[in-house]
Amino acid sequence: MLIRLLSLLVLPLAALIGIAAPASADDISATGRGVVRVVTIAVVDDQVVGFGHGSGFAVAPNRIVTNAHVVELAERYPDNVVVGVVPTEGDKSYQGKVIAYDVQRDLALIEFTGARLPQTALYTGPIDEGGAVVSLGFPGNVDLATARSAADYIRPTSPVRSEGVFSGRRSLSDVEVLLHTANIARGNSGGPLLDRCGRVIGVNSAITRGEEGDSTFGFAIADTELAAFLREAKQPYSAVGTPCTSIEERLRQDSDADVRAAADAAAARRDVATQAALSRERALEQARIEAERRRENVMAIAGLLLVAA
């Protein structure tokens, strides 16, 4: 029993499907426009013999990050396997080429031409355990339920959003990964794991297969591994290190700022009133002193007149 509980089998998420098988946007939706479906089509003697797909996201207008296992066949058999990039918007898909490939980290970089995608940003700051995370991608079980033909897999559509929490950092085959509870499935491979502000914190790669009611967890290649991969590939990327601030927090901060501004204004008005009162008191005191001096002068003159008389 203990062995069964501890022996979680890690499953790759890339979907392999037989050819005959049947957000004013918020931060997450804005990032979603840079998420793509990555398809691989195997052709032998002008016949399609295999079709698979995963997910990916733009780190440059014409470059996509995905998992290495999503495009493994294209890397091994470049003359027989075509890589396709399917954006979330528009009416076209585009042929891509693998330009960087890291089996150890399970990451790949794809270049394509014909369109420019919104670039996602990588968050490089600390991630709090228990914090909200969001997965974007194209889970195969959703496709199986909704696709009417193979053509639907290369037709632009919006990614599926799934929310969960960040459960900590782990090591998987000597690669740093993020453990999380956002629901992902085969087909989510290579899709981004985001913080609640829509910044990329990891690349979804695998799930655990629970037994006898065990919970299922997702693994995402960590931000540190992604950044190292991009540096080694000499691929510039956008990075942000400032903590995420929710709309509620921003509103609260704005409200607090308004309260502070009102308090400062009231204090300034009190200071002005205090200074005005002090000025009036000084003026009255000066007037009293002047009046006293004039009275003394008058008395002195009167005394002199009396003496002279």
- Coil/strand/helix, residue 235: coil
Torsion sign across C-alpha atoms 252, 253, 256, 261: negative
CA atoms of 134 and 195, how far apart (whole Å): 6
The answer to whether residue 106 is catalytic is yes
Residues in the chain: 309
Point out the catalytic residue in the list 189, 195, 205, 223: 189
Point out the catalytic residue in the list 27, 53, 55, 69: 69
Torsion sign across C-alpha atoms 276, 277, 280, 286: negative
Which of 201, 224, 218 has the alpha carbon at shortest distance from 105?
Answer: 224
CA atoms of 17 and 149, how far apart (whole Å): 11
CA atoms of 57 and 190, how far apart (whole Å): 8
The answer to whether residue 45 is catalytic is no
The answer to whether the CB of 219 falls within 8 A of the CB of 225 is no
Point out the catalytic residue in the list 53, 55, 102, 106: 106
The answer to whether residue 53 is catalytic is no
Catalytic (active-site) positions = 69, 106, 189
